[in-house]
Structure 1
């Protein structure tokens, strides 16, 4: 049996090796990022009132992107957007998502804004999980954007003739590679709610990761079959964006498990739409220069090359095998992570998305 001194020495050596690996990853990301020139866009003679949804990871990225395109950008509030629009007289009111924190008079405010001759647009970011609500909201607006391919024909059939597919993205000012402290380091990290499809998957995967540092963040993880065993590694409740970025950067592997689209207690997908599009987390994880293992959505290959810029899994067994494979292959893990980061920086920042949005909105 090893003595306490030997165990301490082994721990110090493991820490030294882990620190060196993170240093190599940080250096590779820093060098690669310097090869990407920031995009520049001509300012449009345009005033926009932007109404956020209350989720900073997306809201701040879209607001920053709008400022790169529009001469004047005001950030409003869902409860007072009519009064603000009447005072500011923007050419466009852009509402982000329009769910959860929006007041009961949402529809009346939008109708009154349109009556002022102001163009309105909404960008749905939670499709297809709330079609019960979004089917009623979409026809209220002049232009509708959704990150979900399957939702476009649904909205058009619901009366929103001017509906468009527009994927989400990442805010590089927030989601980027950076060095982090030991407290953020892990072998495997996942942040999100413990929806039942995620619980079923991880119930099968976690037993094979005994002895590895796995960190789960979010709510509902008490649903896990061996919750008491994993409780010390769970960070319950909401995780601020800044903390999420730190944990992404500190992880060797970050999992991306899309929630189920089945109607039920976790969803309001009354229309039964199939989820075909990747979530914003796909872009945010890759922007941080960390290896991402994700389940597959139809449009994934339009935005990333699986096996080269991230990797994918179809079954619990495949996910388990790939986690164990990449944990033991630092160079391969780092190469894929850096390529995914570069793809995100070049092609998937919100500034590019917002330029497309303004074009489609006629601005």
Structure 2
């Protein structure tokens, strides 16, 4: 199928998944005449792009509907919706402009009327995040890890209000871990970007990789959907300790994940898993197998296109 992806910064992960699975991808096409001349069969709009370019989106989609070309969007920031208000989101989903609403979180979708709803979680971008030639035996805890606990992410709450709670959570946790004499790396990627190779090295040289408080949680209600690191860290063979989100058990079995409920539980789980290297590595290896089998962007592309073609 020939599909157009319209987004602000491109959707390289999904684009690659679509191309690997045999689809032709065009980007940044906003003229209905071009859709016709190029033989485009479907259109996918990044969720925030719809709001940022609504006066281009609406007339284009009205023409696409007359042409019989299905229109989809993928939201990976529910229920925050990239700070688009709930009323705007509700109006969009009731407008009849979208045929397929793919989302990483099914919370509140029982009230969606109009488009078909598809659960489409984040995934691992395996072209960049994988074992990179390192064996599971090399990752077994032999006492030579660089970090006991690590986190890579945006921690700049002053510049990015959606990350204030994360910054406060990590500041308190870092103080606790430092008092225990643990080696901690909490790196703010908004101030110092890390290459994929650097990220991979940190993931594989950390006993525990942490996930905490995504931008999607900015409404004060935890998103049901898992962050991309829930799949990317296991793809690299790393052990991940993440929030106990609703969709965890939709994507993993209980023996494939380690989760925590709140800050106190997070501290207890860190202590627990640092003392149990064998259990930690068994979980990491099972999570890796699950991700590589079920949670890559190639799988997401197959799911999306199967739904669009139905």
TM-score (ref. length: structure 1) = 0.68
Once residues 174 and 148 of structure 1 are traced to their aligned partners in structure 2, the CA distance between those partners, rounded to angstroms, is 25
Distance (whole Å) between structure 2 residues aligned to residue 205 and residue 151 of structure 1: 31
Offset of residue 293 of structure 1:
0.5
Aligned to 1:209: 177
2:147 to 183, 186, 200: 186
Q: Deviations over 1:187-210 (max 9, x none)?
A: 222123332332343243222211
1:237 Cα offset (Å)? 5.1
1:357 aligns with 304
Task: Tell me whether 349-358 or 106-115 shows the greater mean CA deviation.
Answer: 106-115
Q: Output the CA distance in 1 between the equivalents of 2:186 and 2:61.
A: 39
Distance apart, 1:259 and its partner CA: 2.9
- Report the equivalent of 2:116: 162
**Aligned residue number for residue 48 of structure 1:** 3
Structure 2 partner of 1:297: 245
Deviations 1:119-166 (A, max 9, x none): 21111111111252533444422221111111422432xxx3322222
User: Counterparts of 1:309 and 1:177 in 2: how far apart (Å)?
Assistant: 17
Q: State the alpha-carbon separation in 2 of the partners of residues 239 and 336 from structure 1.
A: 26
Give the drift of 1:292. 0.6
Q: Quick check: which has more Rg, 1 or 2?
A: 1
Aligned ranges for residues 100-111 of structure 1 at < 5 Å?
Answer: 102-104=52-54, 105-111=56-62
1:76 Cα deviation from its structure 2 partner: 0.3
1:1-363 mapped onto 2 (5 Å cutoff): 46-54=1-9, 59-70=11-22, 72-77=23-28, 80=30, 82=32, 84-99=34-49, 102-104=52-54, 105-130=56-81, 131-132=84-85, 133-138=88-93, 139=95, 140-156=97-113, 160-178=114-132, 185-194=146-155, 195-210=163-178, 211-218=181-188, 236=191, 238-259=193-214, 267=218, 275-306=223-254, 308-362=255-309
Unaligned stretches of 5+ residues in structure 1: 1-45, 220-234
Preserved contact between residue 86 and residue 113 of structure 1 (Cα < 8 Å): no
- Matched position secondary structure for 2:167: helix
CA RMSD of aligned residues (A): 3.0
Find the aligned partners of 1:309 and 1:176 in 2 and give their Cα distance: 17
State the Cα deviation string for residues 261-303 of structure 1 (Å, max 9, x = none).
Answer: 66xxxx4x5xx87622222221112211111101111121122
Contact 1:52–1:75 (CA under 8 A) maintained in structure 2: no
Cα 1:120–1:250 change in 2 (3 A) is same
Q: 1:53 to 1:243 in 2, by over 3 A?
A: farther
SS at match of 2:132: coil
Residues 1:192 and 1:89: Cα distance change in structure 2 (over 3 Å): same
Structure 1 residues 50 and 322: CA distance shift in structure 2, 3 A: same
TM-superposed deviation, 1:345? 0.8
Alpha-carbon distance between aligned partners in 2 of 1:323 and 1:295, rounded to the nearest angstrom: 12
Tell me the alpha carbon deviations over residues 296-322 of structure 1, each in whole angstroms, 9 at most, x when there is no partner. 11121122234x222111232221232
TM-score by length of 2: 0.78
Q: Residues 96, 242 of structure 1: CA spacing in aligned structure 2 closer, same or farther, 3 A cutoff?
A: farther
